[in-house]
Amino acid sequence: MFPIHDDNQPHQTHSRAEDKRDHDVSAAAISVAQTETDVIYTGPGNKIYEKHFRPLQRGFPLWIPGPDRCLPLAYRRNGVSIGDVGTITPGGAFSFMFNIFLPAAHPINPPELPVGFEPLDLPHGGTVDTFQYSEFGPGTFLASPTVEKVRSSDPLFRGMTFKTYSAEGAILTFPDGAVTHNALNILSIRTYTQAYLASWYRFANGLHGRKLKNGGLHVVTGCDKATSWGMAAISNFDAERHSLKYYRSPDNRDSKLGNAHASIPLYEWECTGHTEAKVGPDLQEIEELRHAAEEAGIDVGGRQGKFYNQCLFLRTLNPALSEDEYKAIEREIAIESEAHDHQRRARPKLRAADGSGTGTQEAGSGQQSESNSGKDSADLLAPKIESRSSESQLLALGNVTWLENPWMPNSRRAHPADHLNKHLLELYPHCNAVITHDNDWCAVVSDSDKIMPSPEEITRRVLATHDVVERDGLVYLELKRKIET
């Protein structure tokens, strides 16, 4: 297990004087200082980063902490929140769909929601029952066990210096610290999820064409958020010593941003070896959020232009339907798509005005179309079935294959709960769904696990330490109680 390093406390590899300098590492970071030979990109850094930080027992580490810039500003100001439903993309971002605690008309929720959507009733005056605390103070960092923080030879250096000989490694810095959020009543969220899970998959894969595989949805019950961060993923193929420096950069802000960010220092990485390093968030994003908040009359002066919207670790409920339930939804979506296509093809067509026939116009539409430009947006998103005979179409509907582009948000990242959920459904094939929690697999990662154990080993450990509960068609886990002797 990795220790949490807080530079406000003495550390065996550096002095108290350096501790004070490291404490000054605070606020947003937006640039990476490198020469052309400093960094060689050998593959997605998020794979290395996730592999080394999953054993921290904090849930899923996000390589892309910031919110989707296409989402409403109301969401982007706060980022990931408890009750969010979405998926984790292959690039390591959380792709938001809707929030179960907010009413349908709330500006954060989309205009279209799952059929029958009703927010989860909230006790305690309508607020989510959560526990929040600050475990990571300013100047704190996390690093792989083989990554060493060393004393800088420059007495004036204000920052952190890391070195390693290891083949791989990962580093995460918290210039301003981080805040942990955890839901206290996961049982209510799980019960609600079971009731609406099928409609969520119809919504995601039907109306929105997300093409999610079974198990691709996640419900947020906890997260660690910060205002700024620095990340590095190390690939040491030549076994040479890596050197990384994370420090406050010269005051070279873009003059176009004006004086709004005078209180936000910039930080950057200086790297050698095969390293993918980055810092965030981007000051342009902060400026946009700050400006929107001021226009809405929201006071952000106390934050000095910073927003706790950067999600570094994500803890979720991980639901999956039985194979029969999921395939039934696939068939429903495919049949609805084919019916929609048939209805569209049945509309009378008008010849182009010049009689050439190169363009068509649907009667009553008032829109001329060529190629795919005349198709409805739903036509472009929904799965397509080749038109042959009615019999062959029905046969095809029973086995819909989703095609994935690994760089698109529709795709999803492999999750530690995937194998566990599949195994539980195989043990209880008559159940309609399984819902596990990140706490289930986090609880079985031991101090000796430098990287994440295999999915099969995680499943073995979970079944050895948890009771499998079957209730009302749902399978879930409960930690075994220790018998006192």
Query: Mean pLDDT for the chain?
Result: 77
Kindly tell me if the per-residue pLDDT of 382 is higher than 60: no
pLDDT digits 0-9 by tens, 397-454: 333 333 344 444 445 568 999 999 999 999 999 999 999 999 999 999 987 887 889 9
Q: What is the pLDDT of residue 484?
A: 56
- Please say whether the beta carbons of 128 and 84 come within 8 A: no
- Confidence category of residue 366, pLDDT binned at 50, 70, 90: very low
Reduced 3-state DSSP string for the chain: CCCCEECCCCECCECHHHHHHHHCCCCCCCCCECCCCCCCCCCCHHHHHHHHHHHHCCCEECCCCCCCCCCCHHHHHHCCCCCEEEEECCCCCEEEEEECCCCCCCCCCCCCCCCCCCCCCCHHHHCCCEEEEEEECCCEEEECCCCEEECCCCCCCCEEEEEECCCEEEEEEECCCEEEEEECCHHHHHHHHHHHHHHHHHHHHHHCCCCCCCCCCEEEEEEEEECCEEEEEEECCCCCCEEEEEEECCCCCCHHHCCCCCCCCCEEEEECCCEEEEEECCHHHHHHHHHHHHHCCCCCHHHCCCCCCEEEEEEEEEEEECHHHHHHHHHHHHHHHHHHHHHHHHCCEEECCCCCCCCEEECCCCCEECCCCCCCHHHHHCCCCCCCCHHHHHHHHCCCCCCCCCCCCCCCCCCCHHHHHHHHHHHCCCCCEEEEEHHHHHCCCCCCCCCCCCHHHHHHHHHHHEEEEEECCEEEEEECCCCCC
Q: How far apart are CA 306 and CA 289, in angstroms?
A: 9
Average pLDDT over residues 41-54: 80
pLDDT digits 0-9 by tens, 84-102: 999 999 999 999 999 999 9
pLDDT digits 0-9 by tens, 209-254: 888 999 999 999 999 999 999 999 998 766 567 778 877 776 555 4
Average pLDDT over residues 255-277: 68
pTM for this prediction: 0.77
- Confidence category of residue 305, pLDDT binned at 50, 70, 90: low
- Which of 34-38, 67-71, 263-267, 411-415 is predicted least confidently? 34-38
Kindly tell me if the per-residue pLDDT of 175 is higher than 80: yes
Q: What is the pLDDT of residue 393?
A: 31
Domain range summary for the chain, segments of one domain joined by + = 5-318, 331-397, 406-479
Q: How far apart are CA 134 and CA 289, in angstroms?
A: 24
Identify which of 309, 341, 315, 335 has the alpha carbon closest to the alpha carbon of residue 64: 309
pLDDT digits 0-9 by tens, 152-174: 777 667 788 898 888 889 999 99
Average pLDDT over residues 469-479: 97
- Please say whether the beta carbons of 238 and 1 come within 8 A: no
- Confidence category of residue 304, pLDDT binned at 50, 70, 90: low
Helices 417-427 and 455-465 sit at what angle, rounded to 10 degrees?
60
Q: What is the pLDDT of residue 291?
A: 84
Q: What is the pLDDT of residue 287?
A: 86
